[in-house]
C-alpha cells in the first residue's frame, strides 16, 4: 500500500514537472524572424547605374577610390571569377527569381 502511495506521489511530481516545462516552453518558444525584403533587384540596379552602365552616376575616380582598382581591372577579375566559379554567375532560385548580379557578389567579396 505504501508503494502505491509512493508511486502515485511520484507520478504527480512528474506530471506537475511536465506541465511546468510545457508552460515555460510556450512562453519561451523560439519564433522565426519575419522575412525581410532585401530589395536585391533594386540594389543591383543601383550598383549598375552608379558604376557600370554607359551613363554612370559616379565617374572613374570615384570607382577607383571606393573599390581600390580601375574599372578595367574589376571587369577582368569579374570575367575570370565568373568563368572559374559558377557561384558568381547570376542564376534563378527555386521560385524562378533571379539572384544577385555578378557585380554585386564580387563587390561584396572584395
Q: Are residues 93 and 45 in the same domain?
A: yes
Higher pLDDT, 26 or 63: 63
Per-residue model confidence (pLDDT) at position 73: 93
Q: Which three cell numbers stand for residue 74?
A: 574589376
Q: How far is C-alpha 7 from the geometric centre of its chain's CA atoms?
A: 52
Distance CA(99)–CA(87), nearest Å, equals: 10
Question: Residue 58 — pLDDT band, cuts 50, 70, 90?
Answer: confident
Phi, psi of 28 (to 5 degrees): -95, 25
Is the predicted pLDDT of residue 55 greater than 90, yes or no? no
pTM greater than 0.85: no
Average pLDDT over residues 72-99: 90
**% pLDDT > 90, the chain:** 22
**Where does residue 105 rank: exposed (0-12), middle (13-18), buried (19+ CB within 10 A)?**
buried
Distance CA(89)–CA(81), nearest Å, equals: 9
Range of the domain at 9: 1-31
Structural domains in the chain (count) = 2
CA distances from 87 to 2, 26, 44, 55, 72 (A): 70, 41, 16, 28, 22
Q: Are residues 11 and 58 in the same domain?
A: no
Q: Are residues 45 and 25 in the same domain?
A: no
Average pLDDT over residues 34-38: 67
Q: Are residues 22 and 65 in the same domain?
A: no
Is the predicted pLDDT of residue 76 greater than 90, yes or no? yes
Is the predicted pLDDT of residue 10 greater than 70, yes or no? no
Amino acid at each position: 500500500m505504501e508503494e502505491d502511495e509512493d508511486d502515485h506521489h511520484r507520478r504527480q511530481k512528474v506530471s506537475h514537472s511536465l506541465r511546468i516545462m510545457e508552460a515555460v516552453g510556450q512562453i519561451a518558444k523560439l519564433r522565426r524572424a519575419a522575412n525581410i525584403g532585401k530589395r536585391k533587384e533594386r540594389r543591383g540596379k543601383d550598383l549598375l547605374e552608379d558604376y557600370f552602365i554607359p551613363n554612370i552616376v559616379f565617374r572613374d575616380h570615384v570607382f577607383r577610390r571606393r573599390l581600390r582598382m580601375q574599372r578595367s581591372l574589376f571587369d577582368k577579375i569579374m570575367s575570370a571569377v565568373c568563368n572559374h566559379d559558377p557561384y558568381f554567375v547570376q542564376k534563378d532560385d527555386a521560385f524562378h527569381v533571379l539572384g544577385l548580379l555578378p557585380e554585386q557578389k564580387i563587390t561584396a567579396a572584395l
